[in-house]
């Protein structure tokens, strides 16, 4: 499902956030949304979740024009298509067991009670959590565990669009790898459209297809990941951090005039370095 | 330098599971520590114990005082804990008022001057008059951090405190802070991977209820296998060095990217 923002305006009494924002998030790809603090990343996400309404302009998600009045009748149907994982999972927990959180979600979207158990078990399995987690108090989970549980809950109702905020916090190497592999599969096999907001540049370097950078109420840059990171000097000048591999590449070029290819996998970087003699 | 924190034989259960198993730990004054461990290993809980948020009767000393109800107020005045949810714990709704509240709490003098000087140092003058509820999440986390440091704590605990803040901004703030403090604060931050911890001086690995090692960042290569075993990502340069060394491209590992580049193409 393609996401399109057309001439979007959003403002607070003393601050303009979006000033005729035009952007298209491609369907079936992983897009990472970047921007300095206060550039509107959260607002962007909240507009998609129908938590905020724009002052002017339109937003299209697949066939839904979510800013239109007619949308009121389709809210639940639309929400079923959006899976959201918050940067603060606790803020969305209401119950004392993980199982109840799942059930509340599936109840909301009128899932057949007989089939719920299977959806829940499948969801836990794909994020790599054991069934024991169903009986845990969500508030007692560690930071990383909460994010995995929230991801499972978001996937349990099979949304076409996944919006993830800071999904790698608290995740060690193994869990991060599980999430990365899962997201790749969700994209290639299940054709989900995935939007990620994250400060983890190395994660973004590995997983993004497209990058959108917000600035001053508009899209400052948008393009394939490789393209965006190739223009790394511009990013640094604006105060953005670079993925370690991209920084390294810059250093090799600046200090030693060595041209390394753009890489998103350290093993490919190693091969490239070995080739340079 | 003296011992700021001493923990001996700490045993602690959480949710019926044994989280710490006769754990020993020491933090020296003025150092910067990164506590790493796999997901669920107890990093947050350990920090919460140090600030008195989890009950314990074990041998724990902070700045020379035992952690018990009698000393709690005294200890709490020296320890600040900043987590990802600190941004929901503000008392006022204006940045300058929040800083004022902190200073008043510690009976500080010259509050207005202190706030202005502080804001200039940390480049947040434009944030002072803003309503906290209207700030972005990242800006709120920055304010939470600054509120914690304005009263010069002796021990600063950072648990995912900068999750919404861009890395470059976070590092910049911590640089300013470290320069300011000149070794008078001990900082402990948690992390799930070491690529997140560029400024750390000492690394501790927590898993299976114990501190498995505590060592300087520069000696990390000696613990490479253990970090791998407990699923901790190595810092980029170290990881790259190890792989290049495996192929005999280099003989020694290098922890710093710039030095690695120099070394690779002398």
- Over residues B162-181, the pLDDT tens digits come to 999 988 889 899 989 988 88
Helix ranges restricted to H, chain B: 43-50, 72-76, 95-105, 111-121, 137-149, 167-181, 224-229, 236-246, 257-264
* A181–chain B nearest CA distance, Å: 16
Determine the residue of chain B that is closest to A138 in CA distance.
B15
Distances from the Cα of A25 to the Cα of A171, A188, A271, angstroms: 27, 16, 33
At residue B197, the pLDDT reads 67
Using pLDDT thresholds of 50, 70 and 90, give the confidence band for residue B200.
Answer: confident
Which residue of A39, A201, A267 is in closest CB contact with B167? A201
At residue B128, the pLDDT reads 96
Q: Do A37 and B232 touch (CB under 8 A)?
A: no
* B249–chain A nearest CA distance, Å: 7
With beta carbons under 8 A apart, name residues in chain A contacting B262.
Answer: 255-256
CA–CA separation, B211 and B248 (whole Å): 33
CA–CA separation, B74 and A213 (whole Å): 47
With beta carbons under 8 A apart, name residues in chain B contacting A256.
Answer: 261-262, 264-265
Assembly ipTM: 0.88
**B34 — phi, psi (to 5°)?**
-115, 125
Give the H/E segment covering residue A30: strand A30-35
Angle between helix axes A143-156 and A113-127 (nearest 10 degrees) is 140
DSSP class of residue B234 equals: P
DSSP string, B96-134: HHHHHHHHHHTT-SSHHHHHHHHHHHTT-GGGTTSBGGG
Please report, rounded to a whole number, the percentage of residues in chain B having pLDDT higher than 90: 76
**B58 — phi, psi (to 5°)?**
-85, 175
Q: Which two tokens stand for residue B79?
A: 């320890």
Those residues of chain A that have pLDDT short of 70 are: 277
Closest CA to B121 of B166, B173, B164: B173
Q: Is residue A70 part of a domain?
A: yes
Q: Is residue A237 part of a domain?
A: no
Which residue of B233, B257, B260 is in closest CB contact with A173? B233
Q: Is residue A256 part of a domain?
A: yes
**A178 — phi, psi (to 5°)?**
-60, -45
Domain boundary among A157, A182, A202: A157
Which residue of A42, A175, A251 is in closest CB contact with B137? A42
Using pLDDT thresholds of 50, 70 and 90, give the confidence band for residue B228.
Answer: very high
Determine the residue of chain B that is closest to A144 in CA distance.
B39
At residue A277, the pLDDT reads 67
Q: Do B193 and A176 touch (CB under 8 A)?
A: yes
Which residue of B15, B85, B168 is in closest CB contact with A90? B85
In three-state secondary structure terms, A57 is strand
- Whether residues A11 and A72 share a domain: the answer is yes
- Whether residues A111 and A223 share a domain: the answer is no
CB atoms within 10 A of CB A165: 24
Q: Strand order of the sheet with strand B65-66?
A: B17-28, B3-14, B59-62, B65-66
Q: Is residue A87 part of a domain?
A: no
With beta carbons under 8 A apart, name residues in chain B contacting A201.
Answer: 167
pLDDT per position as a tens digit, A117-171: 999 999 999 999 999 999 999 999 998 999 999 999 999 999 999 999 999 998 9
CA–CA separation, B134 and B123 (whole Å): 19
Q: Is residue A201 part of a domain?
A: yes
| Bridge partners, residue A214, by sequence | A35, A219
- Whether residues A119 and A176 share a domain: the answer is no
**B204 — phi, psi (to 5°)?**
-120, 135
Q: Which two tokens stand for residue A256?
A: 């030693």
At residue B196, the pLDDT reads 62
Q: What share of chain B is helix, strand, coil (3-state, %, to 5)?
A: 40, 25, 35
Mutation for A interface: B44, B166, B238, most A CBs within 10 A:
B166
- Whether residues A75 and A168 share a domain: the answer is yes
Give the H/E segment covering residue A115: helix A113-127
- Whether residues A137 and A264 share a domain: the answer is no
- Whether residues A178 and A216 share a domain: the answer is yes
- Whether residues A140 and A253 share a domain: the answer is no
**B17 — phi, psi (to 5°)?**
-110, 140
- Whether residues A112 and A123 share a domain: the answer is yes
Query: How many angstroms from the chain centroid is the CA of residue B199?
Result: 10
Determine the residue of chain A that is closest to B87 in CA distance.
A88
Is B53 in the A-facing interface, judged by CB distances under 8 Å? no
Q: Is residue A238 part of a domain?
A: no
Using pLDDT thresholds of 50, 70 and 90, give the confidence band for residue B198.
Answer: low
DSSP class of residue A260 equals: P
CB pairs under 8 A between A and B: 139
Distances from the Cα of A58 to the Cα of A3, A64, A160, B64, angstroms: 11, 11, 20, 62
- Whether residues A257 and A147 share a domain: the answer is no
Q: Is residue A222 part of a domain?
A: yes
Give the H/E segment covering residue A18: strand A15-25
Backbone φ/ψ region at B82: left (φ over 0), alpha (ψ -120 to 50), beta: beta
| Cα angle for residues B199, B205, B207 (degrees, 5° grid) | 150
CA–CA separation, B134 and A47 (whole Å): 16
| Bridge partners, residue A21, by sequence | A8
Helix ranges restricted to H, chain A: 41-48, 75-81, 98-108, 113-127, 143-156, 173-188, 201-207, 225-230, 232-237, 244-256, 266-275
CB atoms within 10 A of CB A108: 12
Q: Is residue A63 part of a domain?
A: yes
Question: For the whole model, what pTM was predicted?
Answer: 0.92
Domain that holds residue A216: 1-81+159-232
Dihedral of CA atoms B259, B262, B264, B266 in degrees, nearest 10, equals -150
- Whether residues A31 and A129 share a domain: the answer is no
- Whether residues A76 and A197 share a domain: the answer is yes
Which residue of A136, A144, A251 is in closest CB contact with B39? A144
CATH number for the domain that contains residue A15:
3.40.50.300
Could you give the number of structural domains in chain A? Answer: 3
- Whether residues A42 and A170 share a domain: the answer is yes
Pair A258, A252: CB distance under 8 Å: yes
């Amino acid at each position: 499902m393609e996401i399109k923002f057309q001439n979007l305006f959003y403002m607070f009494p003393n601050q303009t956030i979006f000033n005729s924002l035009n952007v298209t998030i491609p369907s079936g790809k992983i897009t990472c949304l970047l921007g300095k603090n206060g550039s509107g990343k959260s607002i962007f996400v909240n507009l998609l979740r129908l938590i905020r309404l724009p002052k002017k302009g339109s937003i299209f998600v697949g066939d839904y024009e979510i800013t239109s009045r007619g949308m009121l009748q389709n809210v639940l149907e639309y929400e079923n298509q959006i899976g959201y994982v918050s940067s603060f999972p606790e803020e969305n927990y209401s119950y004392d067991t993980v199982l109840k959180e799942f059930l509340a979600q599936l109840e909301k979207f009128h899932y057949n009670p007989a089939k719920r158990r299977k959806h829940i078990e499948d969801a836990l399995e794909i994020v790599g959590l054991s069934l024991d987690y169903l009986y845990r108090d969500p508030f007692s989970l560690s930071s990383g565990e909460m994010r995995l549980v929230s991801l499972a809950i978001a996937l349990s109702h099979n949304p076409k669009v996944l919006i993830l905020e800071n999904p790698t916090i608290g995740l060690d190497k193994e869990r991060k790898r599980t999430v990365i592999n899962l997201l790749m599969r969700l994209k290639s096999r299940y054709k989900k459209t995935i939007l990620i907001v994250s400060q983890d540049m190395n994660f973004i370097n590995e997983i993004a297809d497209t990058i959108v950078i917000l600035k001053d109420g508009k899209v400052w840059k948008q393009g394939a990941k490789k393209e965006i990171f190739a223009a790394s000097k511009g990013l640094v000048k604006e105060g953005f951090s670079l993925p370690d591999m991209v920084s390294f590449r810059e250093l090799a070029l600046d200090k030693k005039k060595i041209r390394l290819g753009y890489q998103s996998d350290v093993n490919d970087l190693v091969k490239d370095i070995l080739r340079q003699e | 330098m003296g011992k700021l924190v001493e923990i001996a034989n700490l045993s602690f259960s959480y949710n019926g599971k044994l989280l710490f198993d006769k754990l020993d730990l020491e933090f020296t004054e003025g150092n910067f520590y990164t506590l790493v461990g796999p997901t669920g290993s107890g990093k947050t809980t350990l920090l919460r114990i140090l600030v008195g948020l989890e009950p314990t009767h074990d041998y724990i000393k902070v700045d020379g005082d035992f952690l018990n109800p009698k000393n709690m107020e005294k200890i709490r005045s020296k320890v600040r804990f900043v987590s990802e949810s600190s941004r929901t714990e503000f008392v006022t709704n204006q940045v300058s008022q929040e800083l004022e509240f902190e200073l008043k709490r510690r009976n500080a003098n010259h509050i207005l001057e202190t706030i202005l000087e502080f804001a200039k140092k940390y480049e947040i003058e434009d944030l002072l008059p803003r309503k906290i509820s209207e700030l972005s999440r990242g800006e709120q986390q920055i304010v939470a951090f600054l509120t914690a440091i304005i009263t010069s704590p002796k021990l600063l605990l950072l648990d995912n405190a900068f999750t919404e803040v861009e890395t470059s901004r976070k590092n910049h703030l911590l640089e300013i802070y470290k320069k300011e403090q000149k070794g008078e604060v001990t900082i402990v931050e948690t992390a799930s991977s070491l690529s997140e911890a560029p400024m750390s001086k000492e690394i501790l690995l927590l898993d299976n209820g114990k501190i498995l090692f505590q060592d300087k960042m520069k000696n990390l290569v000696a613990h490479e296998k253990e970090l791998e075993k407990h699923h901790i990502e190595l810092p980029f340069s170290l990881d790259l060095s190890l792989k290049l060394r495996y192929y005999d491209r280099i003989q020694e590992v290098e922890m710093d990217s710039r030095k690695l580049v120099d070394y690779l193409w002398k």
